[in-house]
Structure 1
Amino acid sequence: MFTRVLFPTDFSAPSMRAMEYIAELKDAGTTEVVLVHVIDQKDITQIAAGGAGFLGTVPDVETEVQQRLREDIQSSIVDARRKLEREGLAVHVRTPLGDPGKEIVKAADEENASLIVVGSHGRSNLRDRLLGTVSEYVVKNAHQPVMVVKRKSPE
């Protein structure tokens, strides 16, 4: 029923908790996972500015911070991919640049996903919101069923 699952992640704890549920979907026919990490355009612009502020210019040369960010993302993608592959799932990776919610919905359509599995909150993990802004956007705009995995409750 859910052959191809789209798994958007920002590698936060709530997001990675959602990955734990994907292996359980093998019993529902899941054989393939599309791992999506959206590089948020807003984050890149702020980092590229190097703290120069709104009136500063964006340098053409990759800064040390940008390079470290890129390396950290690549390392996290490799770790997540390996974990899913150890569960016997085929994994395809997408790393679009743009608005996370919009890019996730777009990827789900382009990849013909049968289900989207998303964490209820991402990096901001705001406790006073029922859903994070990205997961809320995906739930409201996706054309596929969306499984939202709640964050762990505080002990």
Structure 2
Amino acid sequence: MSAHTHQMTRTPLQTAAFVLGIIFLVVGVLGFVPGITTGYGAMKFAGHTSGAHLFGLFQVSVLHNLVHLAYGVAGLAMARTWEGARKYLVWGGVIYLLLWIYGLIVTGPHAANFVPLNTADNWLHFLLGIIMIGLGVAFSRRGAPRRPFAT
């Protein structure tokens, strides 16, 4: 009697989404670690007045960290399928490009400035948007993998 084992293999597209999901989870957790996040005591839930900086560089808040955690969970969940991974990378990248534009336009004490963003955040969001869209497009050029016929 032989046991059937189902080995799940990830496509490069799914692997990219999975790895980015892990990275976002790690960044979200690190945003709550004093020392790695400087000015931890000055962290606000939201808003431009949060004085916390991840790695002393990227301005963060509780909301900002929670968004990173949510992006990470979404990446892991969507990496389970080829189509989900593609959507995560492409549309996630579009969202990051929109966040980059938001960060360029909405600065200082403005009612719409609920996510603390500084110049480093803005340019990281731009790079993430380009990278995510690039990975999503490059790894999906051949289309979804076809399942082999059962024999």
TM category (shorter chain) comes to: under 0.3
Compare the two structures and name the one with the higher strand fraction: 1
The structure having more radius of gyration, on CA atoms, is 2
* Higher-RCO chain (CA-CA 8 Å, sequence separation at least 6): 1
Compare the two structures and name the one with the higher helix fraction: 2
